[in-house]
Amino acid sequence: MAKRFTLEDFLALLKKYDVEVIEDVKIDGDLEIELEGSAVDLTAFTALYSLLSELGNFLYHANMALTYMQRLSSMLGIQMPFQLQVPTQIAAPVAKVEVPAKPAIPEKLIEARFEPAKVEYTGYIEEVVLGATRADGGTRDYVIKLGGERSLPFYIFDKPQPNLPAIAIDVFDRPPSLAKAVKVHYEDVVGSPAEWAKKCVKKFGADMVTIHLVSTDPLLENTPASEAAKVVEDVLQAVKCPIIIGGSGNKDKDPEVLEKAAEVAEGERVMLASATLDTDWQRICEAAKKYGHVVLSWTQLDINNQKMLNRYLLKRANMPRNSIVMDPTTAALGYGLDYAFTNMERIRISGLKGDEELNFPISSGTTNAWGAREAWMTESPIEGDTPWGPRELRGPIWEIITGLTLSLAGVDVFMMMHPLAVAVLKEVFNTLGGKVKGGVADPGKWIFAEV
């Protein structure tokens, strides 16, 4: 019933018409998972992502892709929705209705016209580029642009959204403690951050990877900064996407670790995570400026602290406006998501209204969703609960709904882990971003048909 075609059809078409670049395809069967004890079957979308990577994906900004899509769509006879349908119906003169003493069933509808409310913001969100290609002194194959919005997220009927949210998958330099449903996807690469990063990009379609240098924590392995920097070099070698570098969260050690990492990544325009109010943010910013990187400004669920830290980065550390991204903290669905959502939504609206200390792209540590017991526990610890069902299905959807909710608050880059959650959220962003064609033939069929 849907106007869609399968991957096979699609590949055949690409061959036939010699299409080189293509953006946003919808394929069938992209959400298969198996239950208890077995791995998620990702073959369907893996094929798509590797195809797209080879063809030169990530052309969100390129008109070229649109042109090809239009060409292709005219061949296939599928409508393009790019020109937003302005209601063209001519308003019939509003009939003057005689109000009868007793309401009766009128012969005709009283015609009314719906004029959308106009909403325009004076401000905009800064556009921040992550990664640098050879042309800009780096070695990345492509860059990822964050931000640039002039309206609320996905309100493309107000203003076009230049960059849809990007997804970075987490990579750790030591075996992390992960929920089982997540762990199964990375078991073969734990211990090798380079291989891990490759898997994220090639197999799971990550736009970027975040390498977390957790082992540098003095309470753990206390890996020296210089050694941790080698891991960064390995990852930069292994993958050609933009990367994000995270410390261990130790406020004394992180500035040194990030400084060293910034040095070895010179020219690659990585994002350094993170500058916080209780670290030596000045030192992290100096390293970012010296080696051409972006800084993540991280505060804990407090818009005023976020504003203060951003002000320090701008005024005291003289960070360029195009080199700051904010992490106002992500709390999981059911565990404070309301705080995280509203905090981010307020920050985003303030930015759009012209607050120049808050108009930066937003990052979310969506992997936090896995801390929710509903995501990972085998069954409910609460006696009266209706049984929770298989956790293999609960976990990914917990990460999806956490990310989806925050995307509606304004998040521009998601740090995630479960491959299925990554794939579904990408589909959501492309859909709400207006980049997925088609739909179902009769959206009212569920009213009368068995489903």
Partner 1 sequence: MKVKSPLEIYNFLPRTNCKECGYETCMSFASHILDRSAKVTDCKPLVRDAEKDSKAKEKLEKLLELTAPEIAEVVIGVGSSAIKIGGEEVLHRHELTFFNPTAFFYDVWDSLDDKKIDERCDRVVSYKKFYVGKYLTLDGFAVRCTSNDPKRYAEVVKKVAGYGKPMVLIALNPECMKAALDVCAEQRPLIYAATEGNWKEFLKLALDYKVPVVLRAKDLNLLKSLAVTFKSAGVKDIVLDPVTEPLGEGLQGTFERVIQLRRKAILDRDKDVAYPIMVTPIAAWLIEGDDVTKSYWEAVIAGIFIVKYADAMIFHSLDQHVVMPTLTLRFNIYTDPRTPVQVAPGLREINNPTPDDPVMITTNFALTYYTVENDLGSAKIRAWLLVLNTEGICVEASVAGGKFTASKVKELINETKIAEKVKHRYLIIPGLAARLQGSIEDETGWKVLVGPIDSGRIKGWMEKNWPPKK
Binding to partner 1 in span 307-366, by CB under 8 A: 333-338, 341-342, 345-346, 349
Angle, CA 274 vertex, CA 268 and CA 279 arms, to 5°: 130
Contact 367, 353 (CB under 8 A): no
Please state the closest distance from residue 335 (CB atom) to partner 1, in A: 7
Q: Sort 127 into a burial class: Cβ within 10 Å, 0-12 / 13-18 / 19+.
A: middle
- How far apart, in whole angstroms, are the C-alpha atoms of residue 225 and residue 217? 10
* Angle subtended at Cα 153 by Cα 328 and Cα 146, rounded to the nearest 5 degrees: 65
Window contacting partner 1 (CB under 8 A); options: 61-69, 196-204, 231-239, 404-412: 404-412
Cβ(146)–Cβ(413) below 8 Å: yes
Question: Is 224 or 249 the residue whose CB approaches partner 1 more closely?
Answer: 249
- Stretch binding partner 1 (CB under 8 A), from 68-76, 125-133, 204-212, 396-404: 396-404
Which residues does 255 contact at the CB level (< 8 Å), separation at least 6?
279, 280, 281, 283, 284
Among 200, 404, 411, 415, binds partner 1 (CB under 8 A): 404
The region of 67-75, 223-231, 264-272, 374-382 touching partner 1 under the rule CB under 8 A is 374-382
Q: State the nearest-atom distance from the C-beta of 413 to partner 1, in Å.
A: 19
Instruction: Write down the least CB distance from residue 203 to partner 1, Å.
Output: 20
Stretch that binds partner 1, among 45-53, 87-95, 256-264, 309-317 (CB under 8 A): 87-95
Residue 117, strand partner residues: none
Contacts of 161 (CB under 8 A, 6+ apart): 148, 149, 151, 153, 154, 155, 433
Least Å distance, CB 302 to partner 1, is: 9
444 is an interface residue for partner 1 by CB under 8 A: yes
d(C-alpha 261, C-alpha 227), whole Å: 10
- Pick from 276, 380, 396, 371: which is nearest to 326 by CA? 276
CB of 383 to partner 1, least distance (A): 4
- Closest distance to partner 1 from the beta carbon of 426 (Å): 12
One residue of 56, 81, 123, 160 binding partner 1 per CB under 8 A: 81
What is the spatial distance between Cα 187 and Cα 204, in angstroms, rounded to a whole number?
14
Output 238 or 337, the one with its CB closest to partner 1. Answer: 337
324, 325, 400, 422: residue in contact with partner 1 (rule CB under 8 A): 400
Chain positions 407 to 426 lying near partner 1, rule: CB under 8 A, are 408, 424
Report DSSP state, residue 249: S
Q: Which CB, 279 or 323, lies closer to partner 1?
A: 279
SS3 341: helix
What region, left, alpha or beta, does residue 137 occupy, with left being phi > 0 and alpha being psi -120 to 50 degrees?
Answer: left
Residues 190-219 that bind partner 1 (CB under 8 A): none
Number of residues that bind partner 1 (CB under 8 A): 92
The nearer residue to partner 1, 25 or 197, going by C-beta atoms, is: 25
Euclidean distance between CA atoms 316 and 239, whole angstroms: 34
The residue (of 54 and 114) whose beta carbon lies closer to partner 1 is: 114
Looking at 13-21, 135-143, 254-262, 393-401, which segment touches partner 1 (CB under 8 A)? 393-401
Taking CB under 8 A as the criterion, which residues in 96-135 touch partner 1? 97, 99, 103-106, 109-117, 119
Q: How far is the CB of 438 from partner 1 (least distance, A)?
A: 4
Smallest CA-to-CA distance from 363 within 310, 433, 411 is with 411
> Residue 138 or 395: which CB sits closer to partner 1?
395
Site string for partner 1, 6-45 (x = CB under 8 A): --------------------x-xxxxxx------------
Nearest to 144 by CA among 22, 57, 64: 57
Contacting partner 1 within 284-303 (CB under 8 A): 300-301
Q: How far apart are CA 246 and CA 172, in angstroms?
A: 9
Q: Applying CB under 8 A, does 182 fall inside the site for partner 1?
A: no
Please report, as a single letter, which amino acid is at residue 387: P
DSSP letters for 401-422: HHHHHHHTTTEEEEEE--HHHH
Only one of the segments 60-68, 151-159, 202-210, 318-326 lies at the binding site for partner 1 (rule: CB under 8 A); that segment is 151-159
> Can you tell me the distance from the alpha carbon of 330 to that of 13, in angstroms, rounded to the nearest whole number?
42
Token readout for 72 is 């292709």
Please report whether residue 73 would count as binding partner 1 according to CB under 8 A. no
In the complex, minimum distance from the CB of residue 418 to partner 1, in angstroms, rounded to a whole number:
12
Residue 415 φ/ψ, nearest 5 degrees: -100, 115
CB of 43 to partner 1, least distance (A): 14
For residue 411, what are its two tokens? 């998040």
